[in-house]
Amino acid sequence: MALYTLMSPGDSPGVTTTALAVSYAWGGRALLAECDPKGGNVLQGFLTGRLGGIHGGLLELAMAIAHNPNPAVLWEHVIPLDQDVREWLLLPGIRDPRHAPQLDMAWDPIVDVLEAATEDVVDVIADVGQIGRPDTPMKLVARTSLAVMLLRPTLRQITAAKPRLDALGRYVGTNVPVALGLIGQGDYSDKQISQILYGLPIIGRIPHDPRSASLLSDGKQSRRLIRINSLMRGAAKLAAAMREHAQKVVIDDSVEAAG
């Protein structure tokens, strides 16, 4: 099992909504970790505040690790996202972005705990939000099996993505494979986008489906729709592609090392 990150170049392409969809459609036990320093919103969005009184989360985990570095402490801060889907889990993000500076020195132990969870228990999909900000958790991104930038195929998003991917490449080098996921349709072909963005592979596309997205972002409509909508079908394909791409990198690295 592995640790993955989902990110954006900014301008709200829908990272959290996509992360929810991908983790739901993962096809195995998946933990969505809200690691965006701007704060998490799944509790008040998808769960519409139904789990009032939840005290656990990313900040509380960081504080707990400081006193008890046992990886098992993670599970004290994880909640199920759906009682009918026991393998769909959430580590809630910080509730107040003003608390983000408290995480600056805690990312290494947080990643240690998340990596320990992947050893034989769960795949972790971390939503890190917009990269390129001073508070981007680059230490987390640098230790993932695959980093996926989600963007809309528009000039504005492609232009925003290029310098952020350049900075990401300088930070992680070749240690972390990076891929692209597209949200909706635009004026550029997959080939054009890949060429502009350093030849990175496009491994999936999520359809623009506002009605289905509102179910995930704001908990609207019937939960039964979550299994059958077009957004979820796209998310299932992206989830499979993420696992396949990360595994291919592992195999290629092993072959290169053996050679």
Q: Mean pLDDT in the chain?
A: 88
For residue 128, the one-letter residue type is V
Looking at residue 22, its pLDDT comes to 95
Q: What is the pTM of this model?
A: 0.91
- Stretch 210-235: mean pLDDT: 76
Q: Does 220 score more than 80 pLDDT?
A: no
pLDDT (tens digit per residue) in 178-206: 999 999 998 899 999 999 999 999 999 99
Between 1 and 238, the higher pLDDT residue: 238
Strands of the sheet containing 30-34, edge to edge, are 79-80, 88-91, 30-34, 123-130, 3-8, 146-151, 178-183, 202-206
Tokens of 51: 């789990």
Between 168 and 11, the higher pLDDT residue: 168
The CATH number of whichever domain residue 243 belongs to comes to 3.40.50.300
Number of domains the chain contains = 1
Q: Under 8 Å CB-to-CB from 100, ≥6 apart: which residues?
A: 37, 38, 39, 94, 135
- Stretch 217-230: mean pLDDT: 67
Q: Does 255 score more than 50 pLDDT?
A: no
Looking at residue 221, its pLDDT comes to 58
Distance CA 61, CA 76 (A): 8
Residue 184 in contact with residue 190, Cβ under 8 Å? Answer: no
Looking at residue 20, its pLDDT comes to 92
Q: In terms of residue numbers, what domain contains 138?
A: 3-258
What's the Cα-to-Cα distance from 116 to each of 63, 74, 109, 123, rounded to whole Å?
A: 18, 10, 11, 10
